[in-house]
Structures are given as C-alpha cells and as structure tokens.
Amino acid sequence: MSEPTLEMLGERLERLERQNRRLKLGVLGVLVLIGSLVLMGAAAPPKVVEAEKFVLRDDQGRERAVLDTSADRSGFRLYDAAGKKRTAIELGEISLYNENETQRINLGVAGDEGNGAAMAVLDAKGKIRIGLLTCQMGPALCINNVEGQTRAIMGMMPAGIFADRSTLPPGVKPGTDLADEMAALGGERDPHIFLFDAKGAIVRQWPPAGRAPAPGAHH
C-alpha cells in the first residue's frame, strides 16, 4: 500500500471543508426555522384591526358585503350575486331593497329628539304605502295611496290635532312632521282616526270634531 501523497491529502482536506460548510449551512437553516416558529407562537394576535373600509367577496371575486366609514357616515351594505344592493345599515337606520335596488322597508329613529321610531313599507315604485311611528307622545299608523299621499291616520293623538284646518299639513311624513306636531300640541292623548281625500281634506274622523271618545277608550 502506497503512502498518501501530498496531493491526495489536499483533496481530502478540501472535501472535508466542503462537507463542513454544508453542515454549517444546514444547522443555520434549522436554527432560523425553529426561531421563526418560536416567534410566531409567542406573538399575541392583534386585538385591534383598524381600517376605513372592509370588502367581502365571494368565490367569483364579486363584492358581496362592504363595511366602510367616512367623515359624515358609517354603514354596512350587502349585495346579491348580481351586484344589487339588498340591505343597508347606517346610523339609526336599516333599509331593505328588492332585486331592482328599490327600497321596500325602512326602519329607523325619527324626530322627537331621539325618542321617536318609525317603520315605512314601500311599494315597487318606492312610494311609502304604510307608515308606523311612535314618539314620546304616542303611536300612529299612516296609510297612503299609490301616489304616496296619506289617506288614513289612526293613533293616540291630541284632541286638537288637525282641528284648526281641514287638510293634512303639507309635507307630513310618517315619523317626522306628524310626530313633531303631536309633541308640540301637548295635552291628553286619545284614540283618533282620520280619513282624507286625494286633496288631503278630512272626509271622516272619529270621534267627530268637538266630541270626546266614548268612556273606556281613554288611556
């Protein structure tokens, strides 16, 4: 067996150095991986996520829900697969829409310094047909025709409401003007029913003008 030459020793030494370098790199990679896992496990999840807008998309990339805010409004909206708005929630108000994005139901607080609440049911053309409101002074139900004109009102109202005129006040809308007028009149609340013609004139009312409700109807 021949003695190892200087050249052979050099080749072996070079191989050992290469193996050593690979071993060091492997150990370093393992240490980095372990350190990353430790840091990920130790890091607490964020308790607050801040943004001005959040968008939720379906598996086709279509926008289906949006939560956003600006200087004058904050809201949450839901969209159907065709991209039509179907539900909207804003401060103090909820609106539901049909497939044509026509508002059909509206719920919200209204008038009376925040003590009022109202619900409006709209037809396919967006006209209010039924309005239900309540305020600090009492509840009322309004029924409108196809033009959105109020034709009937029933509710707990002051005896003097509409007494000084024969027509419905201009611009009366469920949950707004009527509630404010009831609050301004003050006095005792009794059940009243008013029927109006197409021009807003009172054609029927119960109890008749100047006559108090029957005993037992008073609350």
pLDDT in tens, 3-37: 556 666 566 666 666 666 666 666 666 666 667 76
Ranges under pLDDT 70 in the chain: 1-34, 37-44, 110-114, 136-137, 158-188, 209-219
* pLDDT for the residue numbered 191: 86
**Residues 219/189, Cβ–Cβ less than 8 Å:** yes
* pLDDT for the residue numbered 70: 80
Break the chain down into helix, strand, coil percent, rounded to 5: 20, 35, 40
pLDDT tens-digit series, residues 82-109: 999 999 999 889 999 999 999 999 998 8
